[in-house]
């Protein structure tokens, strides 16, 4: 695949596993940047670090319904897949993984991963389902991608610490790398939800 054809867009876990297993068999390092899309400079900083330190970069674009509470903004959350794919192309991402909710949570799905001590306070106090949804989807994504390294922004510090603990406690073979927060000139941390602001 030449650079003009990148990234490869994959929709199913079976196709993704086939691709990343092939890469690992070649002895190459798979880097992973999980996102919910609406990519901004903060996401692209994660991609740049992944690109510089690994051989093959996978970016997931999946708005995860299980981390949204009943009164939260799941339906309004920005979805900009075409622009996200173009940003990934410019950044030389190898694969964009964009599964459907049905692919991630097939009929009958009932398992949840939790890290209760790190999910209880701070943001978790006000969003009781959020971190269970995050831990579950990240576990699934790690199982599907099989990354050697995964890159998360320090902006979501509680999430970063929770995922690092989950990886340690469950003996997952992935290194979780925290990347410094990217900010606007006025100091505001970049976030996909900044699109809501006037």
- Catalytic machinery residues: 43
- Write out the two tokens for 168: 């340690």
Contact yes or no for 32/139 (Cβ under 8 A): no
Query: What DSSP designation does 117 have?
Result: H
Strands, sheet with 95-97, edge to edge from the N-terminal-most edge strand: 8-10, 95-97, 56-61, 30-35, 149-153, 175-179
Distance set, CA 193 to CA 37, 40, 175 (Å):
11, 10, 27
Contact yes or no for 45/162 (Cβ under 8 A): no
3-class secondary-structure state, position 79: coil
Q: What are φ and ψ of residue 149, in 5° steps?
A: -135, 145
For residue 78, count CB atoms less than 10 angstroms from its CB and return exposed for 0-12, middle for 13-18, buried for 19 or more: middle
């Amino acid at each position: 695949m030449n650079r003009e054809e990148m990234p490869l867009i994959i929709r199913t876990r079976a196709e993704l596993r086939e691709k990343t297993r092939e890469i690992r068999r070649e002895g190459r390092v798979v880097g992973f940047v999980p996102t919910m899309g609406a990519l901004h400079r903060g996401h692209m900083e994660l991609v740049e670090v992944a690109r510089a330190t690994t051989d093959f970069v996978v970016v997931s674009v999946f708005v995860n319904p299980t981390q949204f509470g009943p009164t939260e903004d799941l339906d309004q959350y920005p979805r900009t897949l075409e622009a996200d794919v173009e940003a990934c192309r410019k950044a030389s991402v190898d694969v964009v993984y964009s599964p459907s909710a049905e692919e991630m949570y097939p009929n009958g799905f009932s398992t949840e991963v939790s890290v209760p001590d790190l999910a209880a306070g701070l943001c978790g106090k006000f969003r009781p389902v959020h971190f269970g949804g995050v831990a579950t989807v990240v576990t699934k994504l790690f199982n599907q991608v099989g990354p050697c390294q995964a890159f998360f922004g320090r902006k979501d510090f509680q999430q970063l610490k929770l995922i690092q603990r989950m990886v340690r406690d469950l003996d997952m073979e992935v290194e979780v790398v925290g990347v410094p927060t990217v900010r606007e000139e006025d100091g505001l941390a970049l976030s996909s939800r900044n699109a809501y602001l006037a």
